[in-house]
Amino acid sequence: MPHKTSKQPPIDVGDEDFNRVMAGLEEAKAIVAGTAAPGSYRLRQVRVPETVDVKAIRARTGLSQVAFASRYGFSPGAVRDWEQKRKPPEKANRLLLTIIDRRPEVIDDVLTAG
């Protein structure tokens, strides 16, 4: 299969910018490998809301409870319980619901990839 060429002109990246990007990649590699010096980096804390309005989030998607549950991997019963305030979503589900609410295109892109 022939290699596709881009129709966009190449981005001119100066040596300084290139070196900063490469240094950042090396730093990330050291952090992942566990060889970075403690205190040389800061991991950001993810803030997960204590409560989410599941009914409002679902309503903004325009999906029924069953369709919403199916699309995002929840059980229909869980969505119903959350909306009727019988049981709150667990932390991981609140995080996913927040992303669905704020950046639905990200979730759709991830779930339909591959």
Q: Give the pLDDT confidence score for residue 38 in this predicted structure.
A: 79
- Residue linked to tokens 């059980």: 75
Contacts of 55 (CB under 8 A, 6+ apart): 82, 83
Show pLDDT as tens, one digit a residue, over the chain (114 residues). Answer: 555 555 666 666 677 888 888 888 888 888 888 898 878 877 778 889 999 999 999 999 999 999 999 999 999 999 999 999 999 999 999 999 999 999 999 988 888 876
The reported pTM is: 0.62
**Burial grade of 67 (CB within 10 A; 0-12, 13-18, 19 or more):** middle
Q: Give the pLDDT confidence score for residue 50 in this predicted structure.
A: 96
Q: Give the pLDDT confidence score for residue 3 in this predicted structure.
A: 53
Q: Give the pLDDT confidence score for residue 95 in this predicted structure.
A: 95
C-beta separation of 108 from 67 below 8 A: no
